[in-house]
Amino acid sequence: MYITNRKGSLFEVIIPKEWDGKTVDAILRNVWKLPKKMIHTWRMNQEVLVNNAKANWHLPLAQGMRLQVPFFAKTEQSVTATKMKIDILLEDDHMLVVNKPAAMKTHPNEEAETDTLLNAVAFHLQSAGEECDVRHVHRLDVGTSGVILFAKHPAAYAVLSRLLEERHIKRTYRAVVHGLLSRPSGTINKPIGKDRHHPTRKRVSPSGQTAITHYQVISSDPKRNVSLVQCQLDTGRTHQIRVHFSAIGHPLVGDRLYGGKPLVHRQALHAHAINIPHPFTGERIYCEAETPNDLIHLFEFHH
């Protein structure tokens, strides 16, 4: 855990023991791995401070010094803020984790759309007096519920996106699939590409992008011939879990696009948890989203 403070537009971190001797340049470039353009702008504008004075970028810093970086500079909100109730699981100066309802889109695809989760999060921040352009770090399909991570400032967006890509952020999903799986756990490693015959559907295709899903059977119900599985992804392809389980003959319940039966009004997929190594505080953040009511009865055989 680092000792940090927010001072107006500045994020202040007290240099911890493990950064002793590192320069400002090394922290921004090698520890946080911020975008070069961002670092360059701050440097040209002399916006980074050490102990309230303009930073010397190549001077080794000592434990206990205060590094002050302009993370919270005001930015224009790029989406319409819309008042809607949202379920916030965690919020700090850098990020929010929100539990998305199944029927809601993650973000608008055109300006006219103002009823997505991103619009609701923008309203939440605006009404708290925060002038920032919030962005989603990843997305969930319409029809999938659960945890979504949002970044409140450009540095957080850059670092969290990289951590997700490098698989340091772990997301756990739960799905109810048709059939009883022959193995208690396994890995589905099948590339996913477009389906030429359908505008929105994806399919397993040798020329597609690498896609890897690890799963574990939590429980199964032979009477209803369904299984509850927990999944972790090494890749984040569109519809990945849905395509993969359909490809091994166990489509998701309710997922009519990929062969599931409509026992519920949507695909039975819930982003259950997220585990984040917090880039700016040194904490490990873990959030879980409760299973929504429409899936509870499908999960009932799980004790």
Tens-digit pLDDT profile for residues 120-139:
999 999 999 999 999 999 99
Q: pTM score, two decimals?
A: 0.94
Domains 4-69 and 172-271 share a fold: no
- Residues serving a catalytic function are 141
Residue where the block lists tokens 């699939």: 177
Kindly report, residue by residue over 148-182, the tens digit of the pLDDT. Answer: 999 999 999 999 999 999 999 999 999 999 999 99
Contacts 24+ apart (CB under 8 A), 133-138: 133/75, 133/76, 133/77, 133/78, 134/77, 134/96, 136/106, 136/107, 137/95, 137/161, 137/164, 137/169, 138/164, 138/171, 138/236
User: Binning pLDDT at 50, 70 and 90, where does residue 297 land?
Assistant: confident
Instruction: Please give the CATH number for the structural domain made up of 4-69.
Output: 3.10.290.10
Domain boundaries, the chain: 4-69, 172-271
Considering the domain 172-271 in this protein, what is its CATH number?
3.30.2350.10
